[in-house]
């Protein structure tokens, strides 16, 4: 059904335009094309993933540092929201309201 569509196929819900060839495609052709691509990628042989070995002390150090930074940010948000940091609260409010 490539080329110019017939009169009954001209409903916008029934037409798709191929992005390279500027051909009109109906739903059946789009389904075939999509299914073909899916099958192509499903049957590709993937390369084996290399084993990644991370020392435990490095992972624990990163987790501890990340936890500390998240706690600092949450504490700062709590101070701003509770009104302890009025200048920061007003700066956030102004940014939110006026961009």
The answer to the question of residue 50 being in a domain is no
* pLDDT per residue as tens digits for the range 5-50: 565 555 555 555 555 555 566 778 778 888 888 888 887 777 888 8
Check if the beta carbon of residue 35 is closer than 8 Å to that of residue 27: no
- Could you tell me if 62 and 93 lie in one domain? yes
pLDDT of the residue at 20:
56
**How does DSSP classify residue 4?**
S
The verdict on 63 and 89 lying in the same domain is yes
What's the domain count of the chain?
A: 2
Q: Is residue 63 domain-shared with residue 93, that is, in the same domain?
A: yes
**Neighbour-count burial of 85, counting CB atoms closer than 10 A to its CB (0-12 exposed, 13-18 middle, 19+ buried):** middle
Q: Which domain holds residue 33?
A: 7-42
Q: For position 81, what pLDDT does the model report?
A: 81
* 51 falls within a domain: no
Calculate the average pLDDT of the chain.
77
């Amino acid at each position: 059904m490539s080329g110019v569509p017939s009169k009954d196929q001209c409903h916008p819900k029934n037409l798709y335009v191929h992005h390279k060839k500027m051909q009109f495609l109906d739903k059946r052709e789009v389904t075939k094309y999509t299914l073909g691509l899916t099958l192509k990628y499903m049957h590709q042989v993937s390369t084996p993933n290399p084993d990644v070995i991370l020392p435990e002390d490095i992972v624990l150090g990163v987790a501890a540092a990340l936890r500390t930074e998240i706690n600092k940010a949450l504490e700062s948000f709590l101070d701003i929201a509770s009104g302890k940091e009025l200048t920061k609260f007003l700066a956030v409010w102004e940014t939110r309201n006026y961009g």
